[in-house]
Amino acid sequence: MSTAPLINSDYKRSLLAGLELFQGVAPDDVQVLLQKCERRDLGKGDVLLSPNSKNEHVFLVLSGLLHVRVGALDAPVIATMDVGACVGEMSIIEDRDPSAYVLAAEASHLLVIHQSVLWEMVNASHAFSKNLLVVLSERVRSHNHFIAESIRDMRKFAQHASTDALTGLGNRHAMEKLFPREVSRCQQDELPVSLIMIDVDGFKIFNDRFGHVAGDRVLSAVAKVLQKQFRPRDLLVRYGGDEFAVLLPSVNEAEALAIADRVRKKVSSKTDTDSDSLIQIPVRISMGVAQLCTGGTFEGLIRAADQALYRAKNAGRDIVSN
């Protein structure tokens, strides 16, 4: 990176035509001020601006190409500054350090305007001040767009982080976030709340025999049936592997046992058929039911439902136990 004075007045005049800040600016209005500006040369990869480094200049690209990256020098490029574009103006206007990294994507030559000269140009030329306002408004729109895109990406990430990709149900992460909240609400309102743990019987043997693709089809089929059998307010998740869990607010253990047995029969009456219709897969599930006891905890409720599921499987499977 090197800095040098601009060559001569004629060269300075020829610059104005292609620079966004000087569109429509009469050369005579800023000729004297251009004498105070310099040229900076960057090699490929040279860093021009970076966060936590004070900036006092606006840079206009005379030749070459600049990349803008947020967060790290090797982060994805969020903007490209071509010939005529300017950078650095936002940190001067906001009187704060740059918020992004700006570096040369290739050998580049820049016109350097110190902030004091920038304000003199604003006072000297109405066209220049108008151009600066246009650039600033475009930057604000660009920043807002970037923020909006980032928020959308974060929401997508959060959704994927709490959603099971195979079944579309909530996953273990969603359970650990949502179930305790609903349990606390029921406790505060002095309402019962029950938990049902569900396990697909013989799934490992089936998976080993027919393969993971067929196993995934079974889990998807079970998930679809379960979704149709519970109320919209019930919280259904894939607990992990071949296990599911559903929280039933305002439902006591006796009611949950009846619901679970109805659901068990519904699942058992369904079969999943492969695409060639060569095999039919009878599906059976075991279910463990527990109600939150007075003064109990969510962790205790999980243990109780899990123990009930263990008893159901030891009792011969395809049954409901508490």
In this predicted structure, what is the pLDDT of residue 273?
44
Interval 238-292: pLDDT, tens: 998 899 999 999 999 999 999 999 999 888 876 454 444 334 567 889 999 999 9
Query: What domains sit in the chain, N to C, each tagged with a CATH number?
Result: 2-157 (2.60.120.10), 172-321 (3.30.70.270)
Tell which residue, 261, 229, 235, has the closest CA to residue 247. Answer: 235
- pTM of the predicted model, to two decimals? 0.53
In the chain, the DSSP E strands lie at: 2-5, 38-42, 47-49, 57-63, 66-69, 77-81, 86-87, 101-104, 108-114, 193-200, 235-240, 243-249, 271-273, 280-282, 285-291, 320-321
In this predicted structure, what is the pLDDT of residue 275?
44
In this predicted structure, what is the pLDDT of residue 12?
53
Radius of gyration of the chain (CA): 33
Spans of the chain below 50 pLDDT: 7, 271, 273-279
Interval 51-87: pLDDT, tens: 988 999 999 999 999 999 888 888 888 888 899 888 9
Give DSSP secondary structure letters for 269-318: T-EEE-TTS--EEE--EEEEEEEPPTT--HHHHHHHHHHHHHHHHHTTSS
Tell which residue, 35, 31, 38, 36, has the closest CA to residue 16. Answer: 31
